[in-house]
Chain A
Amino acid sequence: MTTLTAPDRPAEQVAPALRDADVQPGHGRPALLMMAPFLVLYLLFIIGPTLYMVLMSLFDTSLVKEGLGSWAGLGNYAEAFGDPAFWESMWHTIWFTILTTPPLVVLAFVLALLADRVRRGRWFFRLAFFLPYVLPSAVVALIWMWIYTPELGLLGRFVTALGFTEPGWLGDPDVAMWSLALTTVWWTLGFNFVLYLAGLQDIPRELYEAAAIDGAGPIAQIRRITVPMLARTTSLVVVLQVIASLKVFDQMYIMTSGGPNFSTRPVLEYVYDVGFTDFRVGYASAVSTLFFLVVLAVSAVWVLLTRRQEQGL
């Protein structure tokens, strides 16, 4: 039934050749017409803004004044590198990524593995784990702010009942990022769970049966068959997760406003603050460009890794 194409094809197949082998006369004009709606919007609202961002990063552009403003050269970049607030926000983004990626990958894998063994009621698990993923970030934030409310919140009372002191979930600078990570794991786990579940269904049952006949117990089967067979799925899940975590903004914006004392402000919120509160669009563009390079680097690492996997097989 799954007639959609596989996401993790060899990079060689995905990447087109650098020439056209079979140009046919009369195809050019209709092709241009059919691509025009997409290409015009794409040029005007994706490629154009990307180039404009790089251009603005070289000027002292202001949000409220027309034009680019005065030439700044690499001054904005130098300022970013010299500004502790930039480094802190960049670190918060990376720290959030480090906190969320391992549980979101490992827990999703384990739960999918368990769900794959259970014959009945799979729809229920899919519902339970995936339902939070379709909720808007604002809804997730409102629910968890209530759960984290000091003294009245569900989690605080649970922890107190166990005999511990309730931490300042969102109010303590040392705890807030962990709380945001916990909320995010709850919110987005379902996506990775479904990816893993699909990967598990592609493993031929005969492999397990053969292993069972050889006397391999369930744990040995998982270690010797499941984990290696899911290597591709795992690399896809990890890279998608890292990129999604790097783009974090919503949870912090709503739940902590980047606080307390800027201890949870991610780099996108820093861009938001310097661009739309301080009106320093040139500087904000420089920071955006730097952030863009980080995301590009992650994608590039993934392409290289999958290439190597291809060759290794």
Chain B
Amino acid sequence: MTIVAETRQRRDTAPTVTREEIDRRTRLFNGFCAGVLIAFAVIWLVPIAWAVDTSLKPNAETTNPTWMIENPTLESYRTLLGQGDIWNWYASSFITSTLTAAATVLTASMAAFALSRMRFRYRWLVFWFVLIGIMIPQQVLIVPQFKEFAALGLLNTYWAVIIPQVPAAIAVFIFKQFFDGVPRELDEAARVDGAGFFRTYWRVVMPLSRPVVSAVAIFTFVWSWNNLLWPLLVMTNPKLMTIPVGLATVQGTYGIRYADTMASAILGALPLVLLFVFFQRRIVEGIAGTGLKG
């Protein structure tokens, strides 16, 4: 309210503020904004740049810390890749994250299709039942799930990492929201032509839902890849550890070999950085469109 009064007053006393003057002020302000923004962006990139910088030095020279790299070397990367542990972690992370993402997309989209398109009794009950799951954070369930997987004899298997991450209620919810927006005429036409429900889902609705399929797939993959707490509990065999568990477990053993430590961090980050660079737009649109958060 006060602003309106102020501006009105200003206009009364100085009616000569021209369009050009306002444009000039706006340009000045925009320039200032750009300056502040660039400063923050640079600050944000410093830790990553510093990690890369350190990883390219010989271990002995990291204790005299300058940005200058006097003797650039890939020795740390060579050592880590030569030890072989990291290859096992890559394999573990890749297998579990890919299977988790694929299984989540498939099971959640099928359930969402039924909830969106099929007129069965107690539909409302099933939907409420699924909605409850959104309120249950996975981290709360580590104790009972651990007991469960111990009883099933599945500890230290990929299944222990994959299975509990698959039934994600939020994925069903996101798919259902999207399917509700896909025109019904298309799948009703397919049904009239004699296609069954599954065929309609697979051949008509899913091909129309590529944006949401890729968003859910990418996010499930990233979360699964970055998950620490649960894999830490169920993967105690160093050969089966995922990247985060491996890094968290061996960090103590590097001691003051800072270049090795930073090289391991860079190697651990690399697959997701590549994924991000390739799918930047999809990832950003996915967040903006669904408000997903791990």
Write the residues of chain A forming the contact surface with B, with a CB cutoff of 8 angstroms.
Answer: 1-8, 15-20, 22-24, 27-28, 30-32, 34-35, 37-39, 41-42, 45-50, 52-53, 56, 61, 63, 111, 113-115, 117-118, 123-132, 134-139, 141-147, 149, 152-154, 157, 186, 189, 191, 194-195, 197-198, 212, 214-218, 220, 223-224, 236, 240, 243-244, 247, 249-250, 253-254, 268, 271-272, 275-276, 281, 284-285, 288-289, 291-292, 295-296, 299
Contacts and interface: CB of A to CB of B under 8 A. Distances in A.
B167 A114 contact: no
B172 interface: yes
Contacts of A288: 140-143
B37 A45 contact: no
B110 A236 contact: no
A138 B243 contact: yes
B119 A191 contact: no
Nearest to A218: B29
A4 B215 contact: yes
B247 interface: yes
B169 A134 contact: no
Given A154-B50, A276-B146, 8 more contacts: A2-B289, A24-B120, A117-B33, A118-B30, A136-B226, A191-B293, A198-B287, A272-B229
A35 B247 contact: no
Nearest to A189: B44
Interface string B106-136: 1110110111001111111011101111011
Interface string B15-51: 0010000100110011001101100111011111011
5 contacts: A16-B127, A45-B166, A141-B248, A215-B7, A247-B139
B128 A16 contact: yes
A214 B26 contact: no
A299 B262 CA distance: 38
Interface of B: 3-4, 7, 10-11, 17, 22, 25-26, 29-30, 33-34, 36-37, 40-42, 44-48, 50-51, 54, 62-63, 65, 106-108, 110-111, 113-115, 118-124, 126-128, 130-133, 135-137, 139-148, 163-164, 166-167, 169, 172, 174, 177-178, 180-181, 196-198, 201, 211-212, 215, 222, 225-226, 228-229, 232-233, 243-248, 251, 258, 261-262, 264-266, 268-269, 272-273, 275-276, 280, 283-291, 293-294
B3 A216 contact: yes
Cβ-closest 3 pairs across A and B: A4-B289, A198-B288, A7-B291
A275 B230 CA distance: 13
A128 B41 contact: yes
Contacts of B51: 142-143, 146
A244 to B, nearest CB: 6
A35 to B, nearest CB: 4
Contact of B143 (A3, A53, A236): A53
Contacts of B45: 128, 131
A138 B143 contact: no
A218 B275 CA distance: 37
A60 to B, nearest CB: 14
A220 B262 CA distance: 46
A143 B41 contact: no
B25 A20 contact: no
B117 to A, nearest CB: 9
B41 A124 contact: yes
B223 to A, nearest CB: 10
Given A35-B110, A134-B275, A254 B251 contact: yes
Contacts of B140: 50, 53, 288-289, 291-292, 295
Contacts of B261: 142, 146
Contacts of B132: 47
A30 B285 contact: no
Contact of B54 (A63, A126, A146, A198): A146
Contact of A139 (B143, B247, B276): B247
Contact of B34 (A24, A118, A272): A118
